[in-house]
Structure 1
Amino acid sequence: MKSRKQISSGVTELVLVRDDASELPPWTPGSHIDVEVRAGLVRQYSLCGDPEDRSQWRIAVLREPDSRGGSAALCERVRSGDVLTTIGLRNHFPLHQSPRYLFIAGGIGITPIIPMIAAAHAAGADWRLVYGGRSEASMAYRDEVGSFDPAHVLEWPQDRRGLIDLDQLLAEPQSGTLIYCCGPEPLIAAVEARSAHWPHGTLQVERFAPRPVTREAPNTSFEVELVDSGEVLVVPPDKSILEVADEAGVYVLSNCEEGTCGTCQTTVLEGVPDHRDSVLDEDERAANDTMMICVSRALSSRLVLDL
């Protein structure tokens, strides 16, 4: 690790470099990495630096009051020169080309938005950022996002202005505009509800925690066929596909086990998944050709997976 510094109340920035000073893999706005804090403890963080700078990666860590060890260690105990292991580089929140963007960020949700704003600004797109937080002191990178064009940035500290006025912000659909939203679940859920009358595909979101899932019926058993071996496994009501595969000696790379990181994404060859993740959008769910096997189940009696 190259450096660590506190950049706002509760938020610490880490700059990561390779120990041999070689170039890091390329990435695009919306990408995130997994950081292994210690053996068995892995956390996901959005890259928020410059994609053109292959010498380093920048992440920002929110110190969670009820930290289970991840944010506390990264914010308080790691030091410059410490070795951190990163696993994977994925982008389930890509910036699609558009003439206009509305970015809505809440708290640490500003991190994936920063390189998106830079890309939109460089492309000459029309963009606007509404950035909310508990207070100005808690809102990271305020100067940086304002440096692109302060006239396009509307700060909304909750202690002074209350909650973001989404009813006014999203009242009228704007032609050719994509909405990108990242932040706490209440904000994302509210944006989803308030933008429901906008054209299909307008809203793109990234969650840091799983979306609430309401089920009217209990889980049932189903079969999973693994195409590589032809083995058929039975997934009982109280276990996930990931757990059953692991018990059968089939290794699948996984991380969060709550359907938010996308690490265990698996191709579906036959059958109908019961999508319970917080990664796939409506179109990806409707296609039924991929699923997160840590949380999603089956609507059909059997799934055939590319495992």
Structure 2
Amino acid sequence: MHEPEFVAVVREKIVVSDGVVALVLGHADGTPLPSWRPGAHIDLVLGDGLVRQYSLCGDPADASAYRLGVLREPAGRGGSAYVHDTLSPGDRILVRGPRNHFELEDAPSYLFVAGGIGVTPLLPMIAEVDAGGARWRLLYGGRTRPSMAFLDVLDRYGDRVLVRPQDRHGLLDLKGFLEEATRDTLVYGCGPEPLLAALEDACGARDMLRVERFAPKESIHDDRDGMFEVVLAQSGLTLTVGPGQTVLECVEAAGIPVLSSCQEGTCGTCETDVLEGTPDHRDSLLTEDERAEGTTMMICVSRCLGERLVLDL
């Protein structure tokens, strides 16, 4: 999969709440940045080969700057610590993308639900739907009010934004909030997995919910995994994927370069077209309809339901 890759320079680094910094990036050579739409994220290639995804939360009409919010995660794998402790204004950094698996769809009415740093992809969505005159509300939760980023940005929207820090209000009242939904309402949610699972439960079978995950929805490994064959149509290779091996690992071991990032089926970097065979989808990105079509898969986690896959690699 081909996508933009370029060197950016850190123009600003600002503390926006307890544990969250905002980065403003510009193209290192001063040219316009690749265009994007609300819901998009980019990869930052950090020190020691770390690659991490961060949602764009600025203005899509501003081709001179990307704005990101980065939460320090003490239990993380080092990406957020690098951004908080090492990255400084003036530093150059490799950027891949943007990429969008959380696209804003047209609707007359929206309900947005954010948990913590999950507010970032929702900010440009809210700006767009507000400018377009759609009905909308945001339910925004966090541990404490000082930990909740970009409240200053949201202040302009008045009572359409419900700020509910957990230390004062407890868990978010999702069912009460969703009572505002009508037949033509779309619900967009982003945040930690327990919140998204509760949101899915509250929405039930209604096809109104769109979510973006930071972590896998479910286990991506199964003790019953067996071997299967992968044919790489472009490269003319036939490979065997072992029980403890991913398709991505097998392809890379054969010397075929593939862009990848999260290794968890959450970012979409390694999405690959399927020409033949039935994927065993284990990602947290594709919709049920896209899974049923079986024309694409995330090769970092997904496998094969049969004995053979033909991929466009």
Cα distance in 2, alignment partners of residues 268 and 39 from structure 1: 32
Per-residue deviation, 1:171? 4.9
Aligned ranges 1:188-199 → 2 under 5 Å: 188-198=196-206
Aligned to 1:11: 20
Specify the code of the residue in structure 2 equivalent to 1:48. Answer: C
Specify the code of the residue in structure 2 equivalent to 1:65. Answer: P
| C-alpha contact (below 8 Å) 1:173/1:197 kept by paired residues | no
Aligned to 2:82: 73
Aligned to 1:112: 121
Aligned to 1:296: 302
Q: Alpha-carbon deviations, 1:16-75, whole Å to 9, x = none?
A: 011222211111000000001114111100000000111100001000112432111211
Q: Alpha-carbon deviations, 1:66-93, whole Å to 9, x = none?
A: 2432111211222111111111210000
Aligned ranges 1:57-136 → 2 under 5 Å: 57-136=66-145
Aligned ranges 1:15-30 → 2 under 5 Å: 15-30=24-39
Q: Alpha-carbon deviations, 1:225-266, whole Å to 9, x = none?
A: 111133211111010000111111111111111111100000
Q: Alpha-carbon deviations, 1:146-201, whole Å to 9, x = none?
A: 31x21211111100000001222235752100010000000011101111132x2x
Q: Which of these residues, 269, 279, 285, is aligned with residue 273 of structure 1?
A: 279
Cα distance in 1, alignment partners of residues 115 and 269 from structure 2: 24
Cα distance in 2, alignment partners of residues 214 and 86 from structure 1: 27
Per-residue deviation, 1:301? 1.2
User: Aligned to 1:182, what secondary structure does the other structure show?
Assistant: strand
Specify the code of the residue in structure 2 equivalent to 1:136. Answer: R
Matched, 1:223 2:261: no
Specify the code of the residue in structure 2 equivalent to 1:231. Answer: L
Cα distance in 2, alignment partners of residues 143 and 224 from structure 1: 51
Matched, 1:176 2:184: yes
Specify the code of the residue in structure 2 equivalent to 1:134. Answer: R
Structure 1 residues 298 and 137: CA distance shift in structure 2, 3 A: same
Per-residue deviation, 1:214? 7.6
Aligned to 2:5: none
Cα distance in 2, alignment partners of residues 97 and 152 from structure 1: 19
Q: C-alpha root-mean-square deviation of aligned residues, in Å?
A: 1.4
Aligned to 2:151: 142
User: Aligned to 1:3, what secondary structure does the other structure show?
Assistant: strand
Specify the code of the residue in structure 1 equivalent to 2:44. Answer: V
Q: Which of these residues, 164, 170, 182, is aligned with residue 172 of structure 2?
A: 164
Runs of 4 or more off by more than 4 Å in structure 1?
Answer: 214-217
Aligned ranges 1:227-266 → 2 under 5 Å: 227-266=233-272
Cα distance in 2, alignment partners of residues 128 and 9 from structure 1: 25
| C-alpha contact (below 8 Å) 2:141/2:165 kept by paired residues | yes
Structure 1: 5+ residue stretches without partners: none
Matched, 1:306 2:299: no
Cα distance in 2, alignment partners of residues 248 and 38 from structure 1: 26
Per-residue deviation, 1:213? 2.6
Q: Which of these residues, 150, 154, 161, is aligned with residue 153 of structure 1?
A: 161
Larger mean CA deviation between 214-223 and 177-186 belongs to 214-223
Percent of aligned pairs sharing the same letter: 54
Cα distance in 2, alignment partners of residues 75 and 187 from structure 1: 25
Aligned residues: 304
| C-alpha contact (below 8 Å) 1:61/1:71 kept by paired residues | yes
Specify the code of the residue in structure 2 equivalent to 1:13. Answer: A
Specify the code of the residue in structure 2 equivalent to 1:9. Answer: D
Cα distance in 1, alignment partners of residues 83 and 155 from structure 2: 27
Specify the code of the residue in structure 1 equivalent to 2:104. Answer: L
TM, length-normalised to structure 2 = 0.94
Structure 1 residues 57 and 186: CA distance shift in structure 2, 3 A: same
User: Aligned to 2:309, what secondary structure does the other structure show?
Assistant: strand
